[in-house]
A and B are shown apart, each in its own frame.
Chain A
Amino acid sequence: MSSLPPDTKEDFESPSLCERAGDMPLVPTAVWVGSYLAALVLQKYLVLPDALKIAVALIPLIPFVFFVRSFIAHLRKLDELHRRVHFEALAFAFPLAILLLMKLGLLERTDVLSPEDWSYRHVWFYLPFFYLVGLTISWRRYR
Chain B
Amino acid sequence: MTNRLRVLRAERRWSQAELAERLGVSRQTVNAVETERYEPSLSLAFKMARLFDQGIEEIFSDQGPS
Q: Which residues of A contact B (CB under 8 A)?
A: 1-8, 10-11, 15, 19, 79-82, 84, 141-143
Contact = CB atoms under 8 A, between A and B. Distances in A.
Given A5-B6, A11-B16, A80-B44, A142 B11 contact: no
B10 A8 contact: no
B16 A80 contact: no
B40 A80 contact: yes
A126 to B, nearest CB: 28
Nearest to B24: A79
Nearest to B27: A10
A1 B11 CA distance: 9
A9 B14 CA distance: 13
A117 B13 CA distance: 59
Given A8-B16, A82-B29, 9 more contacts: A4-B6, A6-B10, A6-B15, A11-B17, A11-B27, A15-B26, A80-B44, A81-B25, A143-B28
A23 to B, nearest CB: 12
By DSSP majority rule, is chain B's interface helix, strand, loop, or mixed? helix
B41 interface: yes
Contacts of B2: none
Contact of A2 (B10, B26, B28, B38): B10
A114 to B, nearest CB: 44
B26 A7 contact: no
A10 B26 CA distance: 12
A142 B15 contact: no
A5 B32 contact: no
A81 B29 contact: yes
B7 interface: yes
